[in-house]
Amino acid sequence: MRKGNSILRKPAVQTLLSSLLCILLGLLVGFIALLIINPSGAVEAILDIIKNFWNYSKRATQLKNLGNTLVKTAPLLMCSLSVLFAYKVGLFNIGAAGQYVAGAGACIFCAVGLGWHWLPCMIASILAGALVGAISGLLKATRNVNEVISCIMLNWISLYLVNTLLSKVKNPTSPYTYNVAKQMVIENGASTTVAHPEALLPQLGINTLFNNNKYVGLAIPLAILLAVGIWVLLNKTRLGYELRATGLNKHAAKYCGMQDKANIVLTMAIAGGLAGIGASMLYLTGFEEWSVTQSSVPGMGFNGIAAAFLGGLHPIGTIFSSFFIQHITDGGAQLNKQVYPSEISGLISSLIIYFCAFVLFFKLTLNRRLDRKAERLQAIAQKEGGKA
Amino acid sequence: MILLIQYTLVFTSVLMLVALGGCFSEHSGVINIGLEGIMVFGALGGALVMSSLPAGSSAFIIVLLSILAAMVMGIIYSLLLAVASINFKADQTLVGTAMNLLGTAGATVIVKAINTAANPNNPSATVQYISARKAFLLVNGYEFNWFMPLALCLLILAYVILYKTRFGLRLMSCGEHPQAAASVGINVYKMRYAGVLISGLLGGLGGLVYITAGVSEWKFENGVAGFGFLALAVMIFGGWKPFRIALAALLFGFFRALSNVYTGFDLLSRLNLPSTIYNMLPYIISLIVLIFFSKNSAAPKAEGIPYDQGSR
Amino acid sequence: MEKEQIRPQDSEYAVEMLHITKRFPGIIANDDITLQLRKGEIHALLGENGAGKSTLMSVLFGLYQPEEGIIKINGKEVKISDPNDANDLGIGMVHQHFKLVECFTVLDNIILGVEPVGKAGILHKAEARKRVLKLSEKYGLQVNPDAKISDITVGMQQRTEILKMLYRDNDILIFDEPTAVLTPQEIEELMQIMRNLAAEGKSILFISHKLAEIMAVADRCSVLRKGKYIGTVNTKDVTMEDLSAMMVGRNVNFHVEKKPQKLGDVILKVENMTVASHMHKNNAVKNVSFEVRAGEIVCIAGIDGNGQTEFVYGLTGLEPLAGGKITLLGKDITKMPIRRRSVMGMSHIPEDRHKHGLVLDYSLEYNIVLQRYFEPQFNKNEFLRRKNIRAYADQLIEQYDIRSGQGAITSARSMSGGNQQKAIVAREIDRNPSLLVAVQPTRGLDVGAIEYIHKQIVAQRDAGKAVLLVSLEMDEVLDVSDRILVMYEGEIVGELDPKTTTPEEMGLYMAGAKRKEM
């Protein structure tokens, strides 16, 4: 039977459509929440969230704030790539959060505690994240431990380990570590710091585009490059062919002699490395410091899940979805805190993940509709043909 | 020592209730990663009732209403999972993850909205229930509360329901072999709804128990600090069986309690380990347990697989 | 015939399905089908895979609603909207794949859905247990009500299914391919049970594609072909050949043309091979030894679940051996990983094409290079050479006549079973293997595809390759092979010559009733 050539049949169109639908629904429910909290300012508030940096009138401030959003988009993109990459191989990497934490711990400690240059710090982040990921992979491959559960456990273990590690480079007057732009030195038993700009990621002149936002730099092009790289790896290479085959049908992968267990470990290590490098992309800009008393796992890894699914599980798609998620998250901060809680944007992004879970059903229904429509058209055509 | 026992029992009750909840959901065939979010919403329901009841309310009313509120909130929240995974055949892990994020974000938004509405200069996500909490205590001055006997009753009830009643037999058949259940006229969708909603009820109650454990206010930004996940590990360690879950909860509860009170023990405080070690211990133990118990998993066979009436 | 005393509303028929039509997107699964089951008779429903038998039964059970046609039970028109309705009307079914909960006991499975309960829904198992024991005695259905399903034999599982129907007082009993998993002796027992049931007034519908069994047990037979109703006959009045012709629509030439045998060197040598089993307790492979030479087709025959699957897993490397030695082309491959066995010249047409044979969501071309994607022809500096992959796929599609909607880029999932299997066969044969391991290569295929695949396998033999065929189909075993090894409970219990043996003799070996010292 010939199927109609409706543009709606194209998988890419369907993916885009369903992502937009998820966003709309998420915003809609968020808007309803705003309405309930305070109806008079709700329209303005939801627009504030959507506009984010455009809320500022001056172009220079807009650029600076866009820069800030981009600084946080880079690590988010890495986390979403981490989730996506594992998902393509049939693994649900809910552990991106913990791998990100491990990466953060590694690069901050290497920069502040050991005074390393940014590049080895970044590599340390990759390795730390990869190690945490590989543990999940190894447990899955050898002991059949469900990766979701082991990742959840490792998220918390990583958090407490990193808190312990980083309390060695803590600023004694606050719960935070020193900024990576400084190196900690011990003099006479007391810790002080010396300037250590080598640990900061190079700005490559990109900062000038964003009104000299000093945090903007290498991370952003690198993140985009890695997204493209992941796409190439998955779709053009022998390894990608193997990994995707493993994800789609691990039995067939084993049957044709692929190293299914090694591939699981490798996948989780790569996924962990991606989340780990993501952490270094944020912390090595000096944008923020780590609080060693935090008792919940940073949301970056979980938001990565949102971005991965919202991006239609396509590496290029995640570039846009990551930006969008970060954009509305920062948008939440634009709200008047005396009326609306800024967590409303967290609410919206978690709603978006929730709606993403319906995407498969949506596509199925859409295809069935199109089938039925095509059949009807065919029947009509046949009838008319019969008359003629 | 008494302190350790108190906390162990409190945490055991929490973990056991929530893990039993997970057990019902999984026996019906739905993986419930979202227990954490369910706990948060249950806790929210209970906390709001406790904080809003007038100061002079009788202890019985406080206990009854806050428990009811926690259960109802848990059930309502678990509907999110039921609708998505049963009717729309969504990926249960993804839905559960979304629910956990939504739980903390949603509860924070709600509490902050209430707080700012009462006082625009108080944009905090904290609910206080100092006086109401006392209603739960069995013996004045000790952290033994009504939840402990209640949890014990629910444990026995859960066992009876699962293994001695028609409902339990049917529920488990849906988690093991839904096509077989359907072929003898059991409505798989209904049973799965029942399983998920019961997990909402127990998870919500567990959330309430957790936030009343030794504290009189709760910051909802913190969610329930991974207890829902710990309960999942308890459920797996307990092999999806109520009494073994209770024992697993006791073990995990003990280690969790140790992290709160280890400074009170000479031996432990002399070891001078960072406190984070005790925080980590339950997770490390679960991981080790998983390593040894995952090979021959007793998990319901059909869990996580959406049921479709059309497929045979 | 004496005239029976019947009340006017009593009908001669227990079930009447009149002019049933059921469509699915793209196909008409049932096209104007009529089936009438008399009271107290055993009525066979015959048809090939995909003839529409399962759909028709799903309609009877209310799993599907037909677009046209009516159903009458005992002469009364009824509407069946779910299995509960069917059950209320006294219809029960033993499904081909048993609908039993493995971790429940026999008793729990029997009462599931119709549990006797007291206050607050508490189960009353004692009275149920008594009733089950009584029923099992009355019809000669031996079961242990307290055993877990996962611990009992397939035969006992089937008896549990029958008891499920009897416990529900069903009068209309449907058996869906009930003999596929049984030994010949168990089949004989089952037929006796069916006759007993019919004698007690139960009406039985017996779905099968095994002609001999139908002739042996059924009173009448209705035939379906490609969704259409062909006719109903009295089995006394027809021969097996007649039924076969009705089923396939033409006289099939079951015989496969083979050239005279030219035996070559030993290609595969298996010595004392032992494989542990994960699935069942009794079917691990025990101490199996044999050889396969170039230019012969050796067939491993046996009833499903006697260790064949584990044997193939051990041979191809999917499972490690617990003991023994495998030699391929003179090289010890016992511990060799799958990829190296494959590169050395072992091709494997797997038993389950969806589980092992294909990545269903990959395109046809990607599936075609599944065993070769790493070769320099398709892989340069770790990048896939997509042009070469396409060209190679197109070549195989042409050569092996693999049909699909969009050629090389068609998703394997959207292809028909026969063409999926052809793609696997093409992939495995085109690698020019020294040894071809083909496991149930024709399972679930239509006659045309079966003939085609048999020809390909024989061509390999004629070209001087070694072929190891694992099959459950007696006809296939007898027609295609040069040598037959019968496997029973994980052991080779006999070697037979297809030219001299008979199905009956093979059956005795397959059922463990006879064995040769090997």
pLDDT at C49 over 70: no
Query: Are C463 and C396 found together in one domain?
Result: no
What was the pLDDT predicted at C6?
44
Residue C354 lies in a domain: no
- DSSP class per residue in C334-395: TT--HHHHHHHTEEEE-S-IIIII--TTSBHHHHHTTTTTTSTTTEETTEE-HHHHHHHHHH
Structure tokens at A367: 């295809």
Query: Are C421 and C439 found together in one domain?
Result: no
Under a CB-based contact definition with an 8 Å cutoff, are residues C420 and C356 in contact?
no
Query: Are C138 and C105 found together in one domain?
Result: yes
B84 secondary structure, DSSP code: I
Distance CA C418, CA C397 (A): 13
User: How do strand C297-301 and strand C203-208 relate by DSSP bridges?
Assistant: unpaired
Q: What is the mean pLDDT of chain A?
A: 87
* Candidate from A43-57, B227-241, C30-44, C232-246 with smallest mean pLDDT: A43-57
Residue A193 lies in a domain: yes
User: How do strand C323-328 and strand A190-195 relate by DSSP bridges?
Assistant: unpaired
Q: Distance between the two ends of chain B, CA-based, in angstroms?
A: 57
What domain range is C211 assigned to? 13-248
Say which of A237, A244, A371 has its CB closest to residue C382: A237
Where residue A190 sits, what CATH number does that domain have? 1.10.3470
- DSSP class per residue in C270-289: EEEEEE--SS-SS--EEEEE
Among C213, C232, C248, identify where a domain stops.
C248
Give the Å distances, CA to CA, from C374 to A239, A242, B73, C205, C342.
10, 10, 55, 52, 12
Residue B210 lies in a domain: yes
Query: Are C94 and C167 found together in one domain?
Result: yes
Encode pLDDT of C209-242 as tens digits.
Answer: 777 888 899 999 999 888 889 999 999 998 877 8
* Candidate from A70-79, A80-89, A135-144, B221-230 with smallest mean pLDDT: B221-230
Query: Are C37 and C164 found together in one domain?
Result: yes
Query: Are C149 and C212 found together in one domain?
Result: yes
**CA A86-A91-A96 angle, 5° bins:** 55
Q: How far is B59 from chain A (nearest CA, A)?
A: 32
- DSSP class per residue in C17-41: EEEEEEEETTEEEEEEEEEEEETT-
Query: Are C446 and C510 found together in one domain?
Result: yes
Sign of CA dihedral C116, C118, C124, C130: negative
**CA C211-C213-C218 angle, 5° bins:** 100
Q: Which helix (H) or strand (E) is B238 found in, with range?
A: none
Those residues with Cβ within 8 angstroms of residue B141's Cβ, 6 or more apart along the chain or in another chain: none
- DSSP class per residue in C409-462: GSBGGGS-HHHHHHHHHHHHHTT--SEEEEESTTTT--HHHHHHHHHHHHHHHH
What was the pLDDT predicted at C389?
94
Query: Are C235 and C263 found together in one domain?
Result: no
pLDDT at C446 over 80: no
Q: Which of A162, A340, A358 to mutate to test the interface with B (most CBs of B within 10 A)?
A: A358
How many C-beta atoms lie closer than 10 Å to residue B118's C-beta?
8
Where residue C166 sits, what CATH number does that domain have? 3.40.50.300
Q: Which of A89, A248, A251, A255 to mutate to test the interface with C (most CBs of C within 10 A)?
A: A255
Query: Are C240 and C285 found together in one domain?
Result: no
What domain range is B48 assigned to? 13-226
Report the pLDDT averaged over residues C436-445. Answer: 86
Chain A residues touching C356 at Cβ < 8 A:
251-252, 254-255
Under a CB-based contact definition with an 8 Å cutoff, are residues C63 and C94 in contact?
no
Nearest CA in chain C to A239: C382
What was the pLDDT predicted at B140?
66
How many C-beta atoms lie closer than 10 Å to residue B130's C-beta?
12
Q: What is the mean pLDDT of chain C?
A: 86
Q: How far is C120 from chain B (nearest CA, A)?
A: 8
Query: Are C240 and C259 found together in one domain?
Result: no
Say which of C361, C371, C383 has its CB closest to residue A256: C371
pLDDT at B268 over 80: no
What was the pLDDT predicted at B297?
66
Encode pLDDT of A322-334 as tens digits.
Answer: 999 999 888 888 8
Chains that touch C (3 or more CB pairs under 8 A): A, B
pLDDT at C60 over 80: yes
Query: Are C409 and C498 found together in one domain?
Result: no
pLDDT at C254 over 80: no
Taking only Cα atoms into account, the Rg of chain C, rounded to an integer number of angstroms, comes to 25
Domain count, chain B: 1
Among C228, C248, C268, identify where a domain stops.
C248
Residue C8 lies in a domain: no
Give the Å distances, CA to CA, from A66 to A69, A162, A213, A289, C40.
5, 30, 9, 20, 81
* Candidate from C43-52, C172-181, C508-517 with smallest mean pLDDT: C508-517
Q: How far is C121 from chain B (nearest CA, A)?
A: 5
Among C431, C455, C478, identify where a domain stops.
C431
Query: Are C393 and C491 found together in one domain?
Result: no
**Are C359 and A238 inside 8 Å of each other by CB?**
no
Residue C2 lies in a domain: no
Domain count, chain A: 1
The number of C-beta contacts closer than 8 angstroms across A and C is 69
Encode pLDDT of C102-138 as tens digits.
Answer: 889 999 999 998 898 888 888 989 999 999 999 998 8
User: Is residue B35 classed exposed, middle or buried when 0-12, 13-18 and 19+ CB atoms within 10 A define those classes?
Assistant: buried
